[in-house]
Structure 1
Amino acid sequence: MKKISLFLLLVCSFQIVKAQKPNDIESKTKGLSKYSGYFNFYWNEKTGQVLLEVDRLNDEFLYVNSLPAGVGSNDLGLDRGQIGDSRIVKFIRSGDKVLLIQPNYSYRAVSSNPDERKSVEEAFAQSVIWGFKVEAEDSGRVLIDITNFLLRDSHQIARKLGNSNQGNYHADDSRSAIYLPNTKSFPENTEFEAIITLAGTGIGSEIRSVTPDANYVTVRMHHSFIKLPDNNYKPRKFDPRSGYYDNEYMDYATPIDEPIVKRFIARHRLEKKDPNAAMSEPVKPIVYYLDRGAPEPVRSALMEGASWWNQAFEAAGYKNAFQVKLLPEDADPMDIRYNLIQWVHRSTRGWSYGESILDPRTGEIIKGQVSLGSLRVRQDFLIAEGLVQPYEDGKPVSDKMMKMALARLRQLAAHEVGHTLGLQHNFTASVNNRASVMDYPPPVFSLNTDGTIDLSNAYATGIGGWDKRAILFGYQDFPAGTNEDEALKNIMVETLKEGYLYISDDDARPAGSAHPQAHLWDAGTNAADELNRLMVIRKHVLDNFSEKAIRQDAPMATIEEVLVPMYLVQRYQVEAASKMLGGLYYTFAIKNDGQTVTRFVPPAEQWKAFNALMGTITPEALALPEKLIEKIPPRPIGYPRTRETFKSRTGLTFDPMSAAESAAGNTLEFMLQPERAARLVEYHARDEKQPGLEAVLNKLVAQTWKAPQLTGYKGELQRLVNDLALKQLLTLAATTSAPESVRGMALLQITELKKWMSKAVLTSGGEQKASLLFGLAQLNEFEKNPDKFKPAPVVNMPDGSPIGTDDFGCGM
């Protein structure tokens, strides 16, 4: 009897233990909220924990972190909707641990031989992103607690704020938590979001301007686990002339006689229902959804501009392949199936972005995401106010400003969507009849015979000719049996034959870049001609500028806000014209494609650019009408100076001399940029017909210091420019980054100028003598230690970029 009782006790105890199964997933998650989808996960309301069920160990997926609620400062670049890193990862188990590991897809062996693939995998490091403890398991599934993984500073905001001198921060667990409304699971992606607070000491002006308390910066960070696409996508070969972003890796299975680096373009998957047909519907269209938060008339303008891309797909033989719709009310923008155009707010105007989530294995774009800054349109409206000056007493306000601003929004939407289709900037399109929306366009306006400004052609309408050719290259679906490499080559040959050229960001943005047709926010077929045309219109606008540029109830001091973009309307065309000096035409030519690889800018064109640039710093160009200066009082209470207004060296009063200094300093800095100076020396050495640096400096000094001296306001402006020219010469001579030939030529010019000044001071008086004496004092200081000499900084211009209209890499 005792044996039977003992046996029953043991059986009951075993059943109790079996029923409890403390390591069983069902037991561990009992009472928790379950979210089913690509990955199932559980939410513990009491503890704030997220438990993830991993049912596919060793299976790869895409992990993306992003910033759904940002900081709100263009300068800091931490905006709502910003996509962070995209990486292929997988969960692997070792004992009681699960590791989230990132394989190294930069180095591969695309081979059917598993040993060959393994040899490459073991040759290069991988990365373990995080480690988790197994909380429970059942039938090949494991349960892990990913709460700490989600509550970290995944977007590296603390580091970015520290690097921008905003303060030292760290993620504060006590002020961070899971953000449940945006934590959910879909059939092809699982999404997690957290409220993250960065605690520290906020010292930077940018972070203080956009946070209630700069010591606690609270944002939201998002994590996406995304199912990788199937293997039916065919990567398309990259061509450096095509204008696409490239996706590259090294393939160690490549035969020795072939290139080991493989390059493919980034693009969406798009197929014709009938590849043999000249025009066919797609198997699945590319659909973009517009943020419902965009108000009218902005919403309609954005939808129309984004929809322009269907013109390009029609030219490639697709019917209704590209569509734009308003995001349905019940749709979730986090769902990977939705390409999104979102309307983003910041404290200041800033860049817009077109970003993509793509499959790193192939370059296939999985999701396009556009972020459009809401304040950009107001800058265009401001520019139009200055040009039209519409606020006349007793007269209705013109609608020209609104029309121009909305025209820009259409172009902006098309531009950023273009990035998410795989296209880079094309900064030579402006010289070819505005051939691409992927350029940065300035508003183009003209002067009517009656003295009014014509804005009817401010921005182009519709997709450009280059854009159509680019989409044809990237998205054409060829019939079975077609030699795709040969077909793509033929498309590119025809593109070149039609006169289209592509030049990239890297060739246009640097201040010392050389291509005379690659510029941001330039217009016209010739940069110097356009600069001259623009200066004529600018003079007319400034000569007639008045309080008609501001609203009836606006303080008179706010004339300055509208004046700034008018006074500096030439700033980007100056940069464009400067590239003609020491410029070099070139193409991204492929061997035997028939393109001219490089050629010098003709000397006559370079001197024309020099004269146009000098025309922007004459006293006549820099002077403001006296009647206008008299109408700009000091700033009233509530309307302080901002980054959008001129700096002042005269205290509270408006300072026209500082405005002139900022404009003239900009021109001279571009003209004597070290890389440009180095090319002037080199090209003249290779071809004596080319303008040399010595000739350029001689003319510069002749038209500044040695020119007949004026009196009064214009005389003061002339002396200002003289001082700036000397500063730039001294800077060039002291710049250790410049080659010694450049520094030597600058030193020669300085030495000759000192001799001239020493004689001129003996016969000069008043302001001219004072200017000469100060210049000689600067020269003496320079001679003491040239390598360490730093002249006083030039007054900076008010903020320009983005001009009411750019990436990092993809922005505009």
Structure 2
Amino acid sequence: MAVAFAPFYRMKKLYPLLPGLLLLLLLNAHGTAAQTLAEKTKGMQKFAGFFPFYWDEASGRILLEIDKLDQEILYVSSLPQGVGSNDLGLDRGQIGQTRIVKFVRSGPKIMLLQPNYDFRAVSTNADERRSVEQAFARSVVWGFKAEAREGNRVLVDFTPFLLRDSHLIGDKLEDLKQGTYKADESRSAVFLPNTKGFPQNSEFEALITLVGKAKGREISSVTPDANAVTVHMHHSLIQLPDANYQPRAFDPRAGYYANEFMDYATPIDQPIMQRQLVRHRLRKQDPTAAVSEPVQPIIYYLDRGAPEPVRSALLEGAAWWNQAFEAAGYRNAFQVKLLPADADPMDIRYNLIQWVHRSTRGWSYGASISDPRTGEIIKGQVSLGSLRVRQDFLIAEGLLQPYADGQPRNPEMLRMAVARLRQLSAHEVGHTLGLYHNYSASTQERASVMDYPMPRIKTRPDGSIDLSEAYATGIGSWDKRAILYGYQDFGPTADEAAALQAIMTRTLAEGYAFISDADARAPGGAHPAAHLWDEGPNAAAELNRLMDVRRQLLARFSENALAPGQPMALLEEVLVPIYLLQRYQVEAAAKEIGGLYYTYAVKGDGQTITRFVEPAEQWLAFEALLRTISPRELALSEELLAKIPPRPVNYARSRETFPTRTGLTFDPTGAAESAAATTLDFLLNPQRAARLQEYHARHPGQPGLAAVLDKLLARTWGSKPETGYPGELQRLVQTLTLHKLLALAAAPQAPAGVQALAALKVDELKTRLQKEQKSAKDEGRRATALAALRTIGQFEEAPEKFQPAPTLPMPDGAPIGDDGCEGF
């Protein structure tokens, strides 16, 4: 019996110790005794806002109070202070990924969970929604440990989340072969001045130092110590918009970006892929009125760092969009203002136009933060590269030759540069309104600011250059139709689908077309009206006109293009855009050869779906292209060449100058090589060659690849021999033609028939070259023939391995006083 009662006795003795034991177990399980939020944050600076948070000065930590567990919010990361290199693409103000997330709790753990909105069931049936949610993976963005808890309020240390490389700069620098970098916490810290709370968003910023071993030239050129790259990274927690926004159906003809997702609740006879316009919320106060004030205007704010006259130009150009909203029946719906002095550019309340500095000229772009659920734009953000206006000014110097002795500075140069800034501002804001590029607008008398504009260069009767219409003023007529489709308020009782269809029917009836990036950017593009930086309704006619202007400009090109006191070697920088004035129009004209007109037609809309380019039009384009590689057009005058010396000390060659094969001296043959090689690349593009062959087989009246190659060889290798400097350029073009033809014959992406035909033409040329090598009296011609035969021999030995000698590239072009936009 004594033994039986012993445990009970010991329990009685230990009973007073149980509370302490339980406390010890809790400490072991959770790491700390339970504390209230007030106790944990005592002495810290509190920031109110969408998510309250606390600053602990002693430890340099941010403690986030999560009072919205299981509530979806928007999380956006961005780069308020960047790296400063266009090549690296890590610019100030760059917006990162936009995600819908929510904080979820499991015991002491708090996880930032990202649902998968690419796959949904838009249904009132909870089981149907759940089946889709469970079918696709989600992502936990980060995990936290609760520092304190009170009911549904949890306190977490937000600092490690803020001090990471959220913008993945290390990965990007490694991909660009600049080195291997990782965030160094010891050299990173919360940046309190830009860490703020607002009613609809909480903003956090950190100074992040990425440490590594630098390997690339680009990163070394923009950092004091390339082994320690310090930037700022920003984090926004944003309240999602309310449910009063009405998504608008996407139409491929309307010119808008699309918000896309798969909806598994759609009926079987309806498309499962859903597309909505990406656009701002805008409603009329009175939807029944022809003209009405908006319920809430769209307001854009300009970076205060933009100087004059840039500031005024950007404000004016962006404000052009109000013309389009007025045409859609709004009064004062779109406004542009200077950013208030006390405003934070990262505040979600401000649509922003910012003036971005880099070490080299580069792209501008318009981006947006939008709601992934609906496509509603919450914040538009434009980034404009500050150096490109200087490129426009440089082009104007080459066009006007304004620095003759005793002449006052010509104000037309600045007018042209400022005019481009206005158009650029409007263009990039257009992206943040939801609009794609429209590259067919240049063929419709500048119908859209969403095209890439080539300056309109006219000549006066006395031969002088007229730049009075270099860039368009005001919003385009296509842009007004696009805004009407995207932003018209039809009212609650209207049949919106029918109203939108009526707008599109009229747009098409008025002759407008929309052709965008994929159709314009491909080197082997087929659409004769879809180009970047072109001008005029007919590409070939404009190329010939531009070559006439170029010839006049080069004939009088001189030191009058340089401001007094500039080194004469800098004449080359001004020469580059004039010598290559035709570069973009060459690409446009090439698309007429083997070209196909087409539209983004919808069944039943009455548009012409596809149409071959007329043969006569193609041959005119061919002649215009051949003109660009003729010795007469490629040659520079001896008088001009004598005025371009080697570079002086501290004025090294750059990406803005011609590559050279002659060492320190200016290389006019190298300049000709880069220009001619570009023309031949476009003409002998494998995709273009494949279309030529296919279209001719289907319709014998179409120019075939054989006819194009025959004419090309007849006009290069079969042309009358030149002597002297023209002869040297002629032989250069002949060699380039052979190399590009051999590249086509060896191109793995070319159809077998194209490869075979190109090889046949090479074999026919071989016979001619064998005769030339033996009979030509000119030593240069014999040498060129011999070198060509050796190159053909290399091809014949292993066609599948053949690589022609690389040609000198053109100096950097786009953006050359213009913009290459990333868009969304």
The question of a shared fold, defined as TM-score above 0.5 by the shorter chain, is answered with yes
Query: Mapping of 1:725-744 within 5 angstroms?
Result: 725-744=737-756
What is the aligned partner in structure 2 of residue 194 from structure 1? 206
1:804 pairs with 2:791: no
Q: SS state of the match for residue 31, structure 1?
A: coil
Kept in 1, the 8 Å contact 2:424–2:819? The answer is no
What is the aligned partner in structure 1 of residue 29 from structure 2? none
Cα deviation per residue 1:452-506 (whole Å; 9 max; x = unaligned)? 1000000000000000000000000003321101110110000001111000101
Code of the aligned partner of 2:377: I
What is the aligned partner in structure 2 of residue 4 from structure 1? none
Query: Mapping of 1:371-410 within 5 angstroms?
Result: 371-410=383-422
What is the aligned partner in structure 2 of residue 319 from structure 1? 331
1:787 pairs with 2:800: yes
Query: Mapping of 1:208-223 within 5 angstroms?
Result: 208-223=220-235
What is the aligned partner in structure 2 of residue 562 from structure 1? 574
More off after superposition, 90-99 vs 171-180: 171-180
Q: CA deviation at 1:50?
A: 1.0
1:523 pairs with 2:535: yes
**Structure 1: unaligned runs, 5 residues or longer:** 1-6
Q: CA deviation at 1:377?
A: 0.4
Code of the aligned partner of 1:269: R
TM-score, length-scaled by structure 1:
0.97
- CA RMSD of the aligned region, Å? 1.5
Q: Which of 449, 453, 471 in structure 1 is aligned with 2:483?
A: 471
Q: How many residues align?
A: 798
Q: Which of 738, 745, 756 in structure 1 is aligned with 2:757?
A: 745
Q: CA deviation at 1:806?
A: 2.9
More off after superposition, 110-119 vs 539-548: 110-119
Identity %: 66
More off after superposition, 558-567 vs 41-50: 41-50
**In 2, Cα distance between equivalents of 1:144 and 1:462:** 51
1:243 pairs with 2:255: yes
What is the aligned partner in structure 2 of residue 689 from structure 1? 701
**In 1, Cα distance between equivalents of 2:200 and 2:813:** 42
Q: SS state of the match for residue 155, structure 2?
A: strand
**In 2, Cα distance between equivalents of 1:493 and 1:806:** 31
More off after superposition, 593-602 vs 165-174: 165-174
**In 2, Cα distance between equivalents of 1:494 and 1:698:** 46
What is the aligned partner in structure 2 of residue 38 from structure 1? 50
Query: Mapping of 1:635-654 within 5 angstroms?
Result: 635-654=647-666
Relative distance call for 1:678 and 1:241 in structure 2 (3 A) is same
**In 1, Cα distance between equivalents of 2:153 and 2:530:** 56
What is the aligned partner in structure 2 of residue 579 from structure 1? 591
Cα deviation per residue 1:589-631 (whole Å; 9 max; x = unaligned)? 0001000000100000000000000000000000001100000
**In 2, Cα distance between equivalents of 1:413 and 1:220:** 26
Cα deviation per residue 1:512-549 (whole Å; 9 max; x = unaligned)? 11100000000000000000000000000000000000
Code of the aligned partner of 1:698: D
Kept in 1, the 8 Å contact 2:108–2:145? The answer is yes
**In 2, Cα distance between equivalents of 1:381 and 1:807:** 18
Kept in 2, the 8 Å contact 1:243–1:424? The answer is yes
**In 2, Cα distance between equivalents of 1:245 and 1:133:** 40
**In 2, Cα distance between equivalents of 1:742 and 1:21:** 77
Q: Which of 359, 374, 381 in structure 2 is aligned with 1:347?
A: 359
Q: CA deviation at 1:808?
A: 5.1
1:503 pairs with 2:549: no
1:271 pairs with 2:283: yes
Relative distance call for 1:587 and 1:507 in structure 2 (3 A) is same
Kept in 1, the 8 Å contact 2:428–2:821? The answer is no
What is the aligned partner in structure 1 of residue 786 from structure 2? 773
Code of the aligned partner of 1:74: N
Kept in 2, the 8 Å contact 1:505–1:809? The answer is no
1:147 pairs with 2:162: no
Query: Mapping of 1:534-683 within 5 angstroms?
Result: 534-683=546-695
Code of the aligned partner of 1:143: L
Q: CA deviation at 1:775?
A: 0.5
Q: SS state of the match for residue 404, structure 1?
A: helix
Q: CA deviation at 1:177?
A: 1.3
Q: CA deviation at 1:769?
A: 0.4
Code of the aligned partner of 2:309: P
Query: Mapping of 1:291-302 within 5 angstroms?
Result: 291-302=303-314
Q: CA deviation at 1:636?
A: 0.4
Q: CA deviation at 1:43?
A: 1.1
**In 1, Cα distance between equivalents of 2:94 and 2:385:** 12
Kept in 2, the 8 Å contact 1:21–1:27? The answer is no
**In 1, Cα distance between equivalents of 2:821 and 2:102:** 30
1:724 pairs with 2:736: yes
Q: SS state of the match for residue 761, structure 1?
A: helix
Q: CA deviation at 1:426?
A: 0.3
**In 2, Cα distance between equivalents of 1:517 and 1:555:** 41
Kept in 2, the 8 Å contact 1:22–1:28? The answer is no
1:74 pairs with 2:86: yes
Query: Mapping of 1:179-190 within 5 angstroms?
Result: 179-190=191-202
What is the aligned partner in structure 2 of residue 110 from structure 1? 122
Q: SS state of the match for residue 594, structure 2?
A: coil
TM-score, length-scaled by structure 2:
0.96
Code of the aligned partner of 2:790: A
Q: SS state of the match for residue 137, structure 1?
A: strand
**In 2, Cα distance between equivalents of 1:506 and 1:413:** 23
Q: CA deviation at 1:739?
A: 1.0
Runs of 4+ in 1 over 4 A off after TM superposition: none
Q: SS state of the match for residue 650, structure 2?
A: coil
**In 1, Cα distance between equivalents of 2:767 and 2:224:** 59
Q: Which of 441, 450, 453 in structure 2 is aligned with 1:429?
A: 441
Q: SS state of the match for residue 101, structure 1?
A: strand
Kept in 1, the 8 Å contact 2:814–2:820? The answer is no
1:99 pairs with 2:120: no
Cα deviation per residue 1:425-446 (whole Å; 9 max; x = unaligned)? 0000000000000000011111
Q: Which of 456, 460, 479 in structure 2 is aligned with 1:448?
A: 460
**In 2, Cα distance between equivalents of 1:681 and 1:21:** 79
Code of the aligned partner of 1:152: R
Q: CA deviation at 1:22?
A: 4.6
What is the aligned partner in structure 2 of residue 47 from structure 1? 59
**In 1, Cα distance between equivalents of 2:152 and 2:113:** 19
Q: SS state of the match for residue 491, structure 2?
A: coil
Code of the aligned partner of 1:232: N
Code of the aligned partner of 1:399: P
**In 2, Cα distance between equivalents of 1:435 and 1:173:** 52
More off after superposition, 468-477 vs 63-72: 63-72
**In 2, Cα distance between equivalents of 1:137 and 1:810:** 43
